[in-house]
Structure 1
Amino acid sequence: MFKQADYVIIGVSDMARSVNFYHNILGLPLKFETKEWSEFDTGKTIIALHPAAKGAKPVTGSESILPGSCSIGFVTSDIESSFRQLQSKGVSFVQPPVSREGEGIKLAVFLDPDGLALSISQALEPTEKTESSPISA
């Protein structure tokens, strides 16, 4: 059903401190760093850092990323089929498959038994990317 793990997002309380740790201490090659999002080049699976929500409760999606938590994304060739298969196994989705403008993917989000957000994504065909992208003047 899945091809590979696509990315891991780690919620952090201090972006600069965390980038220093993953880049300078662990030696991961830094792709880019911003206050809101940083990524490391780790081959086929991206490791990304995202600020943790301040005073957040248990993880329920990207708005509630806590320090020390992560979100794992899996790639599938047929997101609708994977969505139905997982639903049939009792998986609850917090976001059904939706096209993500500008990202070139269709993404669905579900939770593990502890509330960790996991996602499945499928690359959009070029015509799908065009259809979901805003028209530029």
Structure 2
Amino acid sequence: MEIGYVILYVGDLAASVGFYRDVVGLAYKFTDAGYAEFDAGGVRFALYERRRAEWLTGRAVTPGAGGEVVVMVADVDAYAERLRAAGVPVLSGPADRPWGHRTVHVADPDGFVVEFAEEIPRARGRR
């Protein structure tokens, strides 16, 4: 078994495509019928218009902040500088986390938290 797709339901597809393509740096593939797809390495990352998602699921889909997208990078401090230079508000970090990541957090247009993380040595004594 493997995870094939991660899909976020978004309010403004064009704004979200721009964010994930231009700010996050994911490789954009295509947009069709309220759906946009990116190549994110071993898993596909997609965006789907929230109004269409309600048709698909048969119930109202609430916006944003119900999840987090983590993007692994080689140098989180350089990414944080890139984000600031682009005018993207940083929610937290860069900071070392005890579980072995250095992270910086921003929010996408729908309020989903996007974490950029780089692996660092894990703090001793933690499980």
Give the TM interval when normalised to the shorter protein: 0.3 to 0.5
Instruction: Name the TM-score, length of structure 1 as normaliser.
Output: 0.43
TM-score normalised by structure 2 residue count: 0.46
